[in-house]
């Protein structure tokens, strides 16, 4: 449904007595562009427009700016995600929003209460090593915020490839719509997984490794040069991008299956 159609539907629900004016005000607030002068213009309608919530990228923002943006988004939404959040960002948000629940998910923060409505989409998320978990958890938090059910498998990289056998059996039983695989070092695991599953795989390179190429360069180059079909790649440490792409694929598949 278009933006105008959604707004008309909200107003019609008020007229029929099916929605209170207070609830309608909150719903309509989701479509607004919100200005926080002089440093931010918030896209409050993104979730309604394309199914992806506005996510606050904290790196480069001061703790005060990040907290103010969160407070503004929470005027119209139950939760907000903060990506690449430092301990200082977390401390300021807790200080400014003391009554608002907050939990950490790897590099991300989930600020607010409640749970998203399930869409029926399913995603499997795999980390090659324990060091990759904070980036993968950010991707998982994004996908879950988009209503997707996610099952995670950690530390099953190619250094001990036998560890992957059990998770692959579980993934087959789960029958996910997409798989996210996070890997640093030489970034080999996404290619291996992509060769063994029949759904799209999102490769998530991480800045985990030694010396030359250990900043994620080796991992992303390896994934981009993969000969395994069905593997797409996001940038180094881009958990948000991986989570969004996987969730959009899963949610599209879920909508089609319900038709």
What percent of the chain is predicted at pLDDT more than 70? Answer: 89
Residue 105 has pLDDT above 90, yes or no: yes
At 77 the pLDDT is: 84
Q: How far is CA 164 from the centre of its chain?
A: 24
d(Cα 67, Cα 229) in Å, to the nearest integer?
42
Residue 142 has pLDDT above 90, yes or no: yes
Residue 8 has pLDDT above 70, yes or no: no
d(Cα 203, Cα 105) in Å, to the nearest integer?
19
Residue 38 has pLDDT above 90, yes or no: no
Is the CA virtual torsion 104, 105, 108, 111 positive or negative? negative
Q: What is the pTM of this model?
A: 0.83
At 15 the pLDDT is: 79
Residue 143 has pLDDT above 90, yes or no: yes
pLDDT averaged over every residue in the chain: 89
Q: Averaged over 128-152, what is the pLDDT?
A: 96
d(Cα 130, Cα 77) in Å, to the nearest integer?
33
CB 3 within 8 A of CB 45: yes
Helix (H), strand (E) at residue 41: strand 40-43
Q: What is the CA radius of gyration of the chain?
A: 20
At 251 the pLDDT is: 95
Q: Tokens 């409505």: give the residue.
A: 117
- Binning pLDDT at 50, 70 and 90, where does residue 5 land? low
d(Cα 175, Cα 232) in Å, to the nearest integer?
19
CB 54 within 8 A of CB 16: no
CA neighbor of 126 nearest in space, from 54, 181, 192, 169: 181
All structural domains of the chain: 32-112 (no CATH), 122-257 (3.40.50.1970)
């Amino acid at each position: 449904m278009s933006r105008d159609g959604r707004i008309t539907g909200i107003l019609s629900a008020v007229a029929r007595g099916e929605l209170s004016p207070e609830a309608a005000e909150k719903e309509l607030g989701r479509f607004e562009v919100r200005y926080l002068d002089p440093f931010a213009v918030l896209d409050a309608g993104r979730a309604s427009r394309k199914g992806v919530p506005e996510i606050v990228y904290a790196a480069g923002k001061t703790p005060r700016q990040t907290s103010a943006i969160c407070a503004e988004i929470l005027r119209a939404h139950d939760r907000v995600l903060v990506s690449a959040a430092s301990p200082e960002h977390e401390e300021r948000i807790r200080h400014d929003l003391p009554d608002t629940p907050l939990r950490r998910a790897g590099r991300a923060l989930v600020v607010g209460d409640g749970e998203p409505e399930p869409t029926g989409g399913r995603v499997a998320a795999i980390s090659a090593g324990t060091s990759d978990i904070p980036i993968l958890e950010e991707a998982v938090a994004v996908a879950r915020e988009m209503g997707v059910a996610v099952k995670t498998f950690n530390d099953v990289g190619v250094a001990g490839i036998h560890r992957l056998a059990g998770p692959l059996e579980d993934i087959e039983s789960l029958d996910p719509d997409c798989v996210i695989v996070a890997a640093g070092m030489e970034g080999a695991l996404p290619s291996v997984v992509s060769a063994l599953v029949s759904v799209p795989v999102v490769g998530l390179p991480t800045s985990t490794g030694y010396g030359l190429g250990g900043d994620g360069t080796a991992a992303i180059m390896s994934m981009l040069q993969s000969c395994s079909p069905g593997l797409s790649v996001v940038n180094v440490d881009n958990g948000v991008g991986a989570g969004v792409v996987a969730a959009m694929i899963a949610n599209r598949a879920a909508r089609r299956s319900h038709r």
